[in-house]
Amino acid sequence: MDILYELANASGRISLAELSDVLKLPKTSVFSLLRALDKGGYIIQAPGGYELGPEAFKLGAAVMQHRVFPTFLHPTLEAVARQSGETVILGALDETGTGAEYIDVIESASPLRYSVRVGEVRPLYSTTTGKIFLAHFSERRLADYLGKTKREQFTPRTLTRKADLLADLADIRATGIASNIDGMVEGTTSFGAAVYENDRKLVAALVISGPQSRMMSRAQQLKEMAIEASREMSRLLNCVGPYPPSTPIVLD
């Protein structure tokens, strides 16, 4: 696994000598490991060294598809919950790509709190998680979603008009933070930020949610918490460089 990790984080191909030096192992031992990985399709030997093979990319996709990543992101979620005192959510696209699914939730200990269940799916246009993903959609995919989705008015402040929603998405792209005031449940407010994996692709959204009275009185502090936690989660997913990425992958 150390070999795959080094290849995944390399800017180009890595030679046998370089891997031997980084891993602090004899070349003969590294070569034996490389040969086994090559046979399985996890790496490819090419001019100039080794690079990841198709099976490695399939494995990475399978990990994300089956939501394994919340396991090691959970401690960061716990830290935000303790610091904020509010409900903290890790959300992602559902299997259809048209809904926001809550894949990890830590509810506030306060009697008056925002409450959701793991596995619950809600619309993209009316949720913080959903709007973060919509802000990363390509123009074609966003137009297709807006054209096919009937936007229900859950509260008086739910953004259902196309122009209003597009303006909100533009603000998310510009600031890196998503806000949702009464968008899904009246009397609640949420702030969230994007979580990226190692190829600068959005894979999740971290959201802090609670009663509007508590959330709005410390809005800037909670927004900063969301951004810092999302930056840390992105780092754990091997997204290196500035946060948010200057050129995140467009979801098409």
pLDDT band at residue 102 under the 50/70/90 scheme: very high
Q: What is the pTM of this model?
A: 0.75
Q: Where are the beta strands (DSSP E) in the chain?
A: 43-46, 49-52, 87-93, 99-106, 121-123, 178-181, 188-196, 202-211
> Do the domain assignments include residue 105?
yes
Q: What is the predicted pLDDT for the residue at 51? A: 86
Verify that 53 and 87 share a domain, yes or no. no
> Do the domain assignments include residue 242?
no
Is the pLDDT assigned to residue 57 strictly greater than 80?
Answer: no
Verify that 58 and 72 share a domain, yes or no. no
What is the rounded distance in angstroms from the CA atom of residue 131 to the CA atom of residue 123? 9
17: CATH: 1.10.10.10
What is the rounded distance in angstroms from the CA atom of residue 153 to the CA atom of residue 147? 16
> Do the domain assignments include residue 252?
no
Verify that 27 and 128 share a domain, yes or no. no
Mean per-residue pLDDT for 56-71? 60
> Do the domain assignments include residue 9?
yes
The residue among 62, 88, 113 that closes a domain is: 62
Is the pLDDT assigned to residue 43 strictly greater than 80?
Answer: yes
Interval 154-177: pLDDT, tens: 999 999 999 999 999 999 999 999
> Do the domain assignments include residue 248?
no
pLDDT band at residue 60 under the 50/70/90 scheme: low
Share of the chain above pLDDT 90, in %: 64
Q: What is the predicted pLDDT for the residue at 1? A: 67
Is the pLDDT assigned to residue 126 strictly greater than 90?
Answer: yes
Verify that 110 and 211 share a domain, yes or no. yes
226: CATH: 3.30.450.40
Q: What is the predicted pLDDT for the residue at 46? A: 84
Task: Please tell me which residue, 56 or 151, carries the higher pLDDT value.
Answer: 151
What's the chain's Rg over C-alpha atoms? Answer: 21
Question: What average pLDDT is seen over the chain?
Answer: 90
Order of all β-strands in the sheet with 99-106:
121-123, 99-106, 87-93, 202-211, 188-196, 178-181
Verify that 226 and 188 share a domain, yes or no. yes
Is the pLDDT assigned to residue 63 strictly greater than 90?
Answer: no
Verify that 51 and 117 share a domain, yes or no. no
Verify that 46 and 122 share a domain, yes or no. no
Is the pLDDT assigned to residue 220 strictly greater than 60?
Answer: yes
Verify that 47 and 77 share a domain, yes or no. no
| Among 252, 154, 230, 220, CA closest to 243 | 230
Is the pLDDT assigned to residue 140 strictly greater than 90?
Answer: yes
Q: What is the predicted pLDDT for the residue at 68? A: 52
Verify that 32 and 157 share a domain, yes or no. no
Verify that 56 and 74 share a domain, yes or no. no
Q: What is the predicted pLDDT for the residue at 167? A: 98
Total number of domains in the chain = 2
> Do the domain assignments include residue 200?
yes
Verify that 41 and 132 share a domain, yes or no. no
Is the pLDDT assigned to residue 238 strictly greater than 90?
Answer: no
Verify that 150 and 201 share a domain, yes or no. yes
> Do the domain assignments include residue 246?
no
What domain range is 41 assigned to? 2-62
Task: Say if residue 193 is exposed, middle or buried (CB neighbours under 10 Å; 0-12, 13-18, 19+).
Answer: buried
> Do the domain assignments include residue 245?
no
Q: What is the predicted pLDDT for the residue at 62? A: 57
Interval 22-41: pLDDT, tens: 888 998 988 998 989 888 88
